[in-house]
Amino acid sequence: MPLLTWHNKKHITPQAASLKTEAWINPSHPHHPPENRLILGDNLAIMAALLSEYEGRINLIYIDPPFFTNRKFSARIGRGEDSRKPKEWEMTEGYQDNWKDIDSYLDFLYRRLVLMHRLLAPNGTLYLHLDWHANAYARLLLDEIFGADNLLNEIIWTYHGPSPIKSAFNRKHDTILSYTKNKKDYIFNADAVREPYNPNTVKTFKSSKKAGFGKTPNLKRGKVPEDWWYFPVVARLHNERTGYPTQKPEALLERIIKASSNEGDLVADFFSGSGTTALVAAKLGRSFITTDATWRATHTTLGRLAAKKTSFTFERDTVSPLPKAESVNFARLEGDQVFLEADKLSDLSYWEVDQDWDEKIFKSTEQAILPVRRGSIPQNLHISGKIGRKICIRAVGVNGERYQIILKK
């Protein structure tokens, strides 16, 4: 089997991150942290820290890392990102995909894939999402780490969209490499991902018993999809759109999670981006761990999860500081309602309340989120349950600014 080599290729377990809990979002118990985890920081150090608790325990890992495009990707913020209304949105920093050379990219990817293999359960599956820039290299890396015989699928995700290419065929597909840890024992729920047969296929089988080489499939049950998938991209006016660059559609992750995990299983995504993997995992009854190195991705994910009332812990590596929270005073308490000043709302992405602030871990029990497409962020939140002596309100602006307000009962 051919092996890739590059300058300074090494098998070294990195120094583990020191993780600090910042908040519990929608905790189901006041004294126990939620099991789902959103972590800000370098995923290499975070995975090293997770080994002591999760080695051999994660059932499914999906990652959508940088593609070696050597580009800078910008995020869009604003209402709906409608290109016909440019005054309603603006560009801001998204993430960097720039590299010194291919060696530095391979080293980045290889060291992380080695740790993912260790974290994966004996019957677990990894899905690595890339495109033409580095897919061929990644295949050799995975053959080395997982074993070439453990390749499950090379999946082609196709989509439509405008392209400036005029000198070649338009590049409109990504490649998702799927590897099991053990090809003799892995999860694949065929019935969970079946889809209807093409009407022409149904017609053919109904008209001739000899169709399909004499074998008649169960037409009502449907078929297991081929290894090429069509899902529309998350376009600018899509209902899922967050403005985070290269956001993946929920339908894509839904198929992967349904196929390669069961309810109650643990799903991980160490390049969270807009948070789609965690969002879909929670919707499908799976637990999740998701991480990202940037505050932009982290607060985008936090807002999406909170909007669905997902219960999770927000943590960070202590070497990955949060933007400093500005102490402000634009909120008031009236009975069991917390109100924010109306003229401050237009600059906010979301705000949340800890109704019994202990000055240690922020326990977010109520959240107000700016809707993706239409409507305004709520000005007030109803507090259910006992209100403590101190109420802490935290808010995040559309550009990632942080604010904190303390109200005394």
Could you tell me if 175 and 278 lie in one domain? yes
pLDDT of residue 346: 81
| 92-115 residue pLDDT tens | 888 999 999 999 999 999 999 999
pLDDT of residue 78: 64
Q: ∠ CA(318), CA(321), CA(324), 5° rounding?
A: 135
| 116-143 residue pLDDT tens | 999 999 999 999 999 999 999 999 999 9
Total number of domains in the chain: 2
Decide if 283 is inside a domain.
Answer: yes
Decide if 13 is inside a domain.
Answer: no
CA dist 130 and 119 (Å) reads 21
Domain, as residue range, for 176 = 19-317
Distances in whole angstroms, Cα of residue 2 to Cα of each of 41, 95, 140, 248, 299: 34, 33, 7, 32, 41
| CATH assignment of the domain containing 70 | 3.40.50.150
Decide if 156 is inside a domain.
Answer: yes
CA dist 257 and 263 (Å) reads 10
Residue that terminates a domain, selected from 256, 283, 317: 317
Q: Are 116 and 126 in contact (CB under 8 A)?
A: yes
| CATH assignment of the domain containing 369 | 2.60.40
pLDDT of residue 83: 47
Residue 404 has pLDDT above 90, yes or no: yes
Could you tell me if 140 and 245 lie in one domain? yes
Here the tokens at position 150 are 């453990």
Residue that terminates a domain, selected from 266, 292, 317: 317
Residue that terminates a domain, selected from 272, 292, 317: 317
Could you tell me if 362 and 309 lie in one domain? no
pLDDT of residue 165: 78
Here the tokens at position 277 are 């993997």
Could you tell me if 139 and 251 lie in one domain? yes
Decide if 210 is inside a domain.
Answer: yes
Here the tokens at position 120 are 């994966």
**Which burial class, exposed, middle or buried, applies to 339 when counting CB atoms under 10 A from its CB (0-12, 13-18, 19+)?**
middle
Could you tell me if 301 and 372 lie in one domain? no
Q: Are 46 and 17 in contact (CB under 8 A)?
A: yes
